[in-house]
Amino acid sequence: MKDPTVCEEGHNLKQQKAPRQRMPEQDHHQRIKNFSEVPQGYTPELARLEASRCLQCKKPLCRAGCPVGIDIPAFIKLIAEGDYVGSARKLKEYNSLPAVCGRVCPQEDQCEKVCIVAKKFTSVAVGNLERFAADYERTNGAVSIPELPEPSGYKVAVVGSGPAGLSAAGELVKKGHEVVIFEALHKAGGVLVYGIPEFRLPKAIVESEIEYLKKLGVKIELNSVIGKMETVDELLGNGFDAVFVATGAGLPLFMGIPGENFCGVYSANEYLTRVNLMKAYDNGHVTPILKRKRIAVIGGGNVAMDAARTALRMGTEEVYIVYRRSRTEMPARIEEAKHGEEEGLRFHLLTNPVRILGDEKGWVKALECTKMELGEPDASGRRRPVPVPNSEFLLDVDCVIIAIGTSAHPLIPMTTPGVKVNPKGNIIADEKNGQTTQEGVFAGGDIVTGAATVILAMGAGKQSAQAIDEYVRKKRPARTSAHR
């Protein structure tokens, strides 16, 4: 009979001595009073101990589980050997934003899910280690500028400075191209700055990644709404050899239930933008935000958790998560829901909002909900929630935040006739190289896939950069620098 403690590669799982190292966290009583990061990071000692748990598999499943195929055993081995900077550089061969991905990647569904160690114990904390190496490199001033090739003479425009745009820009500039990122907002970073809260991803990290790209030579034009100020076709006509569209899935969806336009109803995007991008939590900033007593956040994803936990930090007395399925189906990362629960979020599961009630002045005064139960599985494979008859009840809230998802930003498709979209409004692009229906125009990230993860968007940016490099070099002979 096969010994269950010996894996396919012959590692003896009994040899595991150290348990998975927990990352120290800010106490939940304290942290709901501030916007500082919740997990505090590994010390070098903890990191080495955790790294020593990796079995260094010959055929690492974790690597196959990573959307960008990071050589996970290699970077972990370097940590175990104490070469933290070397580890960070190994990570950056595959992933230009490891400090970001170490924090926001859903590792439990990717690399860590398939980790062999998890068969017997808990998986190696790949995400925590990734974060450690990247933070070590950054905070110790060890970030180095790689040697760049001679200028190629080609010029590429990147529309949008979120994860897809940043990763494409980084790859393109390293191939010697002149890269200009056009960002519609006044700050670069896309969802990393307007969406993900400070306590989950400190903005200083995003800023330092952007500074790094600038040092590599990437130009960033802020306040530049492509499609309005200049179209994609105009960029192509004005000296750009190719355009990479990475405008994301930024349009908030509403439920279409009565009362959604009462004062005190926010999209999660608006609530988070006011707090994260516009810093409404700081009284020195001008942007206003409503401070209400009881807030219902509708939705069960990471954005719902972000909005709800932000609302707690804004001093809201009661914050409810209202989600129509059960905890098992909740798309939010387990860690986020757990953190939220520790902080005092209250979950109304199997609960579907049907109507928002308002007062005569047009302000939210309650949320009417129906209890749900799970029926047969639907197209997503999850059991379909069906209303329980006569189960309506009122939730006493004075603010509602809707976090049920976002859809593709329509501005580029609307203003670029050559670029075709699917019925959902996502740009049609080749899965492997991002080529759209228009020559010279590539696209990647959420604008192509619909709302997904940071790592997938970065992967798409990287793949498209490769394809763009091949495209521009084939399109015309390189200009010498004398012609530029």
Query: Which residues here bind other proteins, judged by CB under 8 A?
Result: 184-186, 194, 222-225, 228-230, 250-252, 254, 260-264, 266-267, 269-270, 273-274, 278-279, 284-288, 290, 361-362, 409-411
CB of 247 to other proteins, least distance (A): 9
Name the residue among 156, 164, 163, 210 with its Cα closest to residue 180.
156
Residue 114 vs 290, nearer CB to other proteins: 290
CB of 283 to other proteins, least distance (A): 9
Kind of pairing between the strands at 155-159 and 178-182 = parallel
CA distance 166 to 454: 11
Residue 7 vs 185, nearer CB to other proteins: 185
CB of 385 to other proteins, least distance (A): 24
Q: What is the DSSP string of 142-203?
A: ---PPPPPPP-S-EEEEE--SHHHHHHHHHHHHTT-EEEEE-SSSSS-THHHHTS-TTTS-H
CB of 420 to other proteins, least distance (A): 20
CB of 464 to other proteins, least distance (A): 22
Longest dimension (CA), the chain: 77
CB of 186 to other proteins, least distance (A): 4
Kind of pairing between the strands at 441-443 and 242-245 = parallel
Name the residue among 318, 388, 379 with its Cα closest to residue 352.
388
CA distance 26 to 231: 46
CA distance 236 to 228: 15
Residue 98 vs 190, nearer CB to other proteins: 190
Residue 364 vs 467, nearer CB to other proteins: 364
CB of 253 to other proteins, least distance (A): 9
SS3 content of the chain, % helix, strand, coil (to 5): 35, 20, 45
The Cα-based distances of 330 to 98, 271, 333, 457 in angstroms read 26, 21, 8, 22
Residue 41 vs 410, nearer CB to other proteins: 410
Kind of pairing between the strands at 294-298 and 318-322 = parallel
Residue 184 vs 236, nearer CB to other proteins: 184
Residue 6 vs 229, nearer CB to other proteins: 229
CA distance 179 to 190: 17
| Residue whose tokens read 């690399």 | 111
The Cα-based distances of 423 to 91, 330, 435 in angstroms read 37, 26, 18
CB of 226 to other proteins, least distance (A): 11
CB of 169 to other proteins, least distance (A): 20
Residue 106 vs 195, nearer CB to other proteins: 195
Residue 86 vs 264, nearer CB to other proteins: 264
Q: Which residues contact 270 (CB under 8 A, 6 or more apart)?
A: 252
CB of 227 to other proteins, least distance (A): 9
CA distance 402 to 399: 10
Residue 60 vs 252, nearer CB to other proteins: 252
Residue 295 vs 337, nearer CB to other proteins: 295
CB of 192 to other proteins, least distance (A): 14
Q: What tokens does 279 get?
A: 């810093």
How many CA atoms lie within 13 Å of 61's alpha carbon, on the beta-carbon side?
17
CA distance 133 to 48: 11
